[in-house]
Every structure is written in structure tokens, then in C-alpha cells.
Amino acid sequence: MMTVRAIRGATQLDRDEREHLFERTIELVREVLAANDLTTDDLVSIIFTCTPDLRSDFPAAAAREMGLGDVPLMCAVEIDVAHALPRVVRLMAHANLERPRDQVRHVYLHGATVLRRDLAQ
């Protein structure tokens, strides 16, 4: 039986520029798929958040550009906490995954590895 699992991930950008946002978002989505042996058909949905200092474009636009146009995607702004890591795109991907929750591989890239040292690859 297939189970829907949530997969977390995050990446940090060097600057708030559309091309850079797309590059890092696409890298993050690809790494999440690869780490969990998923295809885009396995995805149920993805929720993206950005820290309030990222305004150049939507991470969902990057995901659509890489071929996820038929996957439900949503973007939101992360809570503006004073000491939060800047320029971060986070995702929570929901996927059909035949493995226990403790074997789901979460992906934290670039400066975002400090967010979850316990989960970072």
C-alpha cells in the first residue's frame, strides 16, 4: 500500500535575483526527488515558503518551469523572526512513498544546513 509522506527541504540564496532563485529552487526539488528515489508522478503537492527578504519571484514558478505544471504548488511567506536565517526557500513536498517515515530523506542545501543539522544530508 502506498502512503503519502511529507518531505522537508530548504536552501539559502546568496542574493534575491530571479535567476538565482530559480536555480536554487530547481536544485532543491531535484535533490529531494533524487534523495527519495521519486519521479514527478510520485508528487502529490509542494508547499514552498520564502523568508520575507525574497521578493524576486515565486519558487512555484521555478518548479513549473522544471516540468511540475501538473503538481499542485503553493507559495507562502515564512514568519518574519528577527534572528531567522535570511534568504531561505523552504519546501514541504507530499509524495506517494513506500518507506517508513524514519527513512524519508530530507534535504537542506547551502547555508540552510544549519536549520536542521539533524536532518541535513
- Please give the average per-residue pLDDT across 32-45, as a whole number: 96
Residue 118 grid coordinates: 539533524
pLDDT at position 117 is 63
Give the three-class secondary structure for 2: coil
Is the pLDDT at 114 greater than 90? The verdict is: no
Record: fold of 3-116:
60s Ribosomal Protein L30; Chain: A; (3.30.1330)
Q: Which residues contact 56 (CB under 8 A, 6 or more apart)?
A: 16, 17, 18, 20, 21
pLDDT at position 118 is 65
pLDDT at position 112 is 87
How do residues 59-111 score in pLDDT, each as one tens digit? 999 999 999 999 999 999 999 999 999 999 999 999 999 989 999 999 999 98
Is the pLDDT at 120 greater than 80? The verdict is: no
Active site residues: 8, 64, 75, 78, 90, 108, 116
Q: What mean pLDDT value characterizes the chain?
A: 93
Burial class (CB in 10 A: 0-12, 13-18, 19+), 70: exposed
